[in-house]
Amino acid sequence: MKIIIRRTMLLMIVITILMFMSNICYGQISIGRKAHMFSLEDSEGMLHDLSSVKDKPIMILYFFDAESRPSQEGLLGLHHLTNQYRETDLSVWAITLSDKKSISGFVKNSGISFPVLFDNSDTSRLYDAEMVLPTVCILGPDLHVLDYFQGGGKTTEAMMVRVAERELQRNQTMMAKAISDEVIKNNPANVKAKTVRGYASLKEGNLEEAEKSFSELSREDTQGRILGKEGLAAVYVKKNQPEKALEMVKEVENEAPERSYIHLIEGDILYAQNKEKEAEEAYKKSVMAKEAETYQEAARYNQLGRLYAKSGQYEKARELYDKAISIDPYYITGTTNKGITYEKEGKLDKALEAYQQALSVEKSDTYARVLANKVQKLINLQTDNERKKRVDKLVSDLVARYNSQRESPVITEDAWTTPPMVMSFIDFQEKGGLSERDGFSSVLATELTNHLNKSGRLQVVERVMIERLLEELNLGSSDLADTETALKLGKVLAAKIIVTGTVYHLPQKTLLSMRLIDTETSAIPKVTTWQLESSESLEHELFKLNREILRTVILKYPLRGFIVQSSGDQFMINLGSNQGVVTGTKFNVIEEKEPVKYKGKVLHSLPKTIALFEVVSVEPDLSYVRVINKSRELKSDDKIQETIEAAAL
């Protein structure tokens, strides 16, 4: 009896020690903390240093035993994914304490393409990966620990689902689907994987596929039914069927009131219906609720933050944005939104820091890049005293002209020659739902300004100047919605064309309704409606929109001038880069016909084309051209006009 008691006590002591040791090790790799650095060699003797991949958005450290079947299965699953989707940036390092001889055969036969590293140090101990294998550590931005799993079987399955969720957070929908499909193939009852797949389809805009996935889920047991109905509510919102969406919202609220995402959906619907107070209550419910999927948590804090930011409660908004970012390190939406609150408070250094933080996570993000560049220009302006004085003086003059209703003086040499074409973007109004990302109109106007200025065809007033002027005049988007106010502002800026319009945030897309207005005649040479599918395609869409604006300007306002000098087959014209001429621009040499008088009316004919020029060299105020063809000898003072061919952009 005494022996049994002693053995029992000894066993309890051993278990306690092991638990204590495990807790110590796990504490070293706590979620959110930076991973332990290490350097290990692969079978070829190549050294792999973890610090060298700190810029990788997602990294999987897979600790395994070469003799363990569960370890092998998980390893082969990851190999299959990374091999099939080589273009993705999901990186895997496999780490083992097994000897090289036992692992080399397995690696060779399986064809594993990612590094297999041999732990001849204490790396496995640091990651508490000696006794329970496989052990998986998922690392996010700047090598911070996102997730930690130990064991095979169901644990490996849970790990794969979590990787799919992380890929969904990063908007890598193709990879999220692929991983989900792999899990579903092995376990058709995994509702989490099915849910990830449904939301991946939804993010891709494949509403029919998403609806099918969520409908199937809604017919399953309790967990599947709730997740399916939540997904259906999101689909109906995207389909612009708010009543059907609200029906699903009510059903989920009755069955599972602690689900946060359903309250977020309700808040978005109510806000789009101009019920801001009710929307705020729904967003608050979403934040207070206790149950949320990993990839949905950040959005609930963001939307309530957006609501507070709109009413100028920037500190409260930032607290919520910080919460969103801490939950989801890939959620750069919250990071840029936070930067915008600092920018509106004039805290430019903090705004730039936020935008740069977003770029460190996602280098290709158009929002963060445009906002960072704009703020950097403002900071540079503040530190350049001479330039700041010039800008302050110019803004002061413009304010005085606006208040006295005096237009900027425009000096022209003659009625025919085209002066420099100046354009100004007046702030776009934003209507509809509460967009997830703040600052859309600013990004839109800033990026189009950059594109058009680079074209050389237009001189677009810089956004820094416009924003300074609007601030001094205390003009908001509601004031600028008035066409007369916008025209008055354009004339003060000496702009021939102003661009204004409205951004409509709809459930399924964002629409831009844009107008180009001639400040001299009040004519509208162009009205266009542009559909912007997602922030991921924004750069491409803005490039196409830039081309559309250029096409309109060339068609409606062709460059005009004169031949200045001639020398053989080369001629000089009185237009240069200041007027928007570039190498390759073509001009017709035209000859005006005498008007015909008939029954008291003067009838004008189209001018006769007598030659075609192509620009071969450009200077600021003049260009040299070569003759392509001509029907008579050319001379100084012959009129020229840009050809419509140049509009084929």
Is the Cα torsion angle 260, 265, 266, 267 positive or negative in sign? positive
Q: Which residues are 528's β-sheet partners?
A: 514
Show which of 536, 556, 576 is a domain's final residue. 556
The mean predicted confidence, pLDDT, of the chain is 88
Exposed/middle/buried for residue 391 (C-beta within 10 Å: 0-12, 13-18, 19+): middle
pLDDT digits (tens, 9 = 90+) for 545-566: 999 999 899 889 999 999 998 7
Question: What pLDDT, on the 0 to 100 scale, is given for residue 1?
Answer: 46
Residues 623 and 505 in one domain: no
Reported confidence tier of residue 326, pLDDT bands at 50, 70, 90: very high
Per DSSP, the three-state class of 513 is strand
Please list the helix, strand and coil fractions of the chain in percent, rounded to the nearest 5, in that order.
Answer: 55, 20, 30
Residues 531 and 567 in one domain: no
DSSP character at residue 562 = E
Question: What pLDDT, on the 0 to 100 scale, is given for residue 610?
Answer: 92
Residues 404 and 551 in one domain: yes
Query: CA torsion 477→480→482→484, rounded to 10°?
Result: 180
Supply the CATH number for residue 544's domain. 3.40.50.10610
In whole angstroms, how large is the CA radius of gyration of the chain? 32
Residues 99 and 148 in one domain: yes
Residues 544 and 522 in one domain: yes
Residues 427 and 486 in one domain: yes
Q: Which residues are 309's β-sheet partners?
A: none
Pairing state of beta strands 639-642 and 596-598?
A: unpaired
Residues 500 and 588 in one domain: no
Supply the CATH number for residue 78's domain. 3.40.30.10
Cα–Cα distance for residue pair 579/458, rounded to 1 Å: 8
Question: What pLDDT, on the 0 to 100 scale, is given for residue 412?
Answer: 55
Question: What pLDDT, on the 0 to 100 scale, is given for residue 494?
Answer: 87
Question: What pLDDT, on the 0 to 100 scale, is given for residue 411?
Answer: 56
In percent, how much of the chain has pLDDT > 70? 93
Going by C-beta distance under 8 Å and a sequence separation of 6 or more, which residues neighbour residue 583? 615, 616, 617, 618
- Alpha helix positions (H), 557-603: none
Taking residues 19-23, what's their average pLDDT? 36
Supply the CATH number for residue 609's domain. 2.40.10.410
Is 24 contained in some domain?
yes
Going by C-beta distance under 8 Å and a sequence separation of 6 or more, which residues neighbour residue 424? 460, 461, 466, 489, 490, 493, 495, 497, 498, 499
Cα–Cα distance for residue pair 337/436, rounded to 1 Å: 9
Question: What pLDDT, on the 0 to 100 scale, is given for residue 597?
Answer: 80
Residues 392 and 535 in one domain: yes
Cα–Cα distance for residue pair 299/293, rounded to 1 Å: 11
Question: The domain containing residue 124 runs over which residues?
Answer: 1-152
Taking residues 103-127, what's their average pLDDT? 86
Give residue 286's identity as a one-letter amino acid code. Answer: S
Listed range (19-33, 62-76, 151-165, 363-377) with the worst mean pLDDT: 19-33
Question: What pLDDT, on the 0 to 100 scale, is given for residue 82?
Answer: 84
Residues 564 and 551 in one domain: no
pLDDT digits (tens, 9 = 90+) for 382-408: 888 888 888 888 888 888 888 887 655
Cα–Cα distance for residue pair 95/97, rounded to 1 Å: 7
Question: What pLDDT, on the 0 to 100 scale, is given for residue 410?
Answer: 55
Show which of 105, 128, 152 is a domain's final residue. 152
CB contact at 8 A, 461 and 450: no
Reported confidence tier of residue 26, pLDDT bands at 50, 70, 90: very low
Per DSSP, the three-state class of 557 is coil
Residues 1 and 132 in one domain: yes
CB contact at 8 A, 424 and 461: yes
Residues 492 and 567 in one domain: no
Q: What is the DSSP string of 391-412?
A: HHHHHHHHHHHHHHTPPPP---
Q: What is the DSSP string of 38-66?
A: -EEEETT--EEEGGGGTT-SEEEEEEE-T
Residues 3 and 107 in one domain: yes
Question: What pLDDT, on the 0 to 100 scale, is given for residue 7?
Answer: 45
pLDDT digits (tens, 9 = 90+) for 516-547: 999 989 999 989 898 876 556 788 888 889 99
Question: What pLDDT, on the 0 to 100 scale, is given for residue 34?
Answer: 92
Which residue do the tokens 């063809």 mark? 629
Taking residues 13-28, what's their average pLDDT? 38
